[in-house]
Amino acid sequence: MLLLDQPTQAFFPTNKRNAPDRTLADLRDEDQEQVGRIFELLRATVEGLAGAMQVIVMDHAELDEDWFADAVGDNTWRGGRGLVPSDWFTDE
């Protein structure tokens, strides 16, 4: 298993780095290409290993690609959702 925390952070300008709605459109063209390459390399590696490796990426960047949306599924951390569900640490 490989866990990556914000591998695209270096490509986002400081004023957008922590924005919860950042997209590739916020980047210069060459930075968009680099971000795309990161995720394409991860995808190719996981596919090439035929399920023998799991990669978990925590990042706000989103690619406008069907394969990316399929990989992310319903696991976006927006709209009150997070890595740790809030009901784990709040009193009911």
Q: What is the mean pLDDT of the chain?
A: 80
> pTM here?
0.69
Domain that holds residue 27: 2-88
Tens of pLDDT, residue by residue over 35-79, are 889 999 999 999 999 989 999 998 877 788 898 888 888 777 767
Percent of the chain surpassing pLDDT 90: 25
Count the Cβ atoms, other than its own, within 10 Å of residue 76. 12
Percent of the chain surpassing pLDDT 70: 78
Q: What is the pLDDT of residue 48?
A: 95
* Sequence-ordered alpha helix ranges (H) in 10-91: 29-48, 66-72
The count of domains in the chain is 1
- 26: Cβ–Cβ under 8 A, 6 or more apart, which residues? 12, 13, 16, 19
